[in-house]
Structure 1
Amino acid sequence: MSEKENKIEYPRMWGFRIIGEDKEKMRQAVKECINNQECNVEDNKSHGKYHSQKFEAYVTSEEERNEFFKRLQEHKDIKFVL
């Protein structure tokens, strides 16, 4: 594939999946990490003490997308980000 075919167009909605232990704390963490954007965080799966949630955020650039990902990874209430 050429570089042009792999280029992601911005702005756009970008999907994230997070894993953690407390659903409500995870929802609050999402708001904090994506600059209080409105988004719908959906519960996905639960396995034992861990819960998975997914949501989409509006990103204007690859840098912003990466910054949101980094903030989510570093948040104390989120264990994993996909």
Structure 2
Amino acid sequence: MEKKENKIEYPRMWGFRIIGEDKEKMRAAVKECIDNQECKIEDNNQKGKYYSQKFEAYVTSEEERNEFFKRLQNHKDIKFVL
């Protein structure tokens, strides 16, 4: 059986989920990491001291999507990126 490679079409909106300890700092981090693009950030859950938020950002290529992910991952106010 041949493996079929799925091709993602760009540009497109891409969803991210982040986890951290401070909702407002997480919101500021998102804006910083995605070059101040407009996006709607939704608060999801709070489990203990951690908050979960999700948002979509406009990405023009896989490289840009990966760069946003890397910036989010490396930001001091974000613990995890999914």
- What TM-score range do you get, normalising by the shorter chain? over 0.9
Partner of 2:4: 2
Partner of 2:65: 65
The residue type equivalent to 1:69 in the other structure is F
CA distance in 2, matches of 1:81, 1:39: 16
Pair 1:24 & 2:27 matched: no
Q: How large is the Cα RMSD of the aligned pairs?
A: 0.6
Partner of 1:43: 43
Report SS of the residue matched to 1:42: strand
CA distance in 2, matches of 1:36, 1:48: 29
What stretches of structure 2 of length at least 5 have no aligned partner?
none
More helix by share: 1
Shift of 1:2: 1.8
Q: How many residues align?
A: 80
The two structures have a TM-score, normalised by structure 2, of 0.96
Shift of 1:42: 0.3
The two structures have a TM-score, normalised by structure 1, of 0.96
Pair 1:11 & 2:11 matched: yes
What stretches of structure 1 of length at least 5 have no aligned partner?
none
CA distance in 2, matches of 1:2, 1:28: 39
The residue type equivalent to 1:2 in the other structure is K
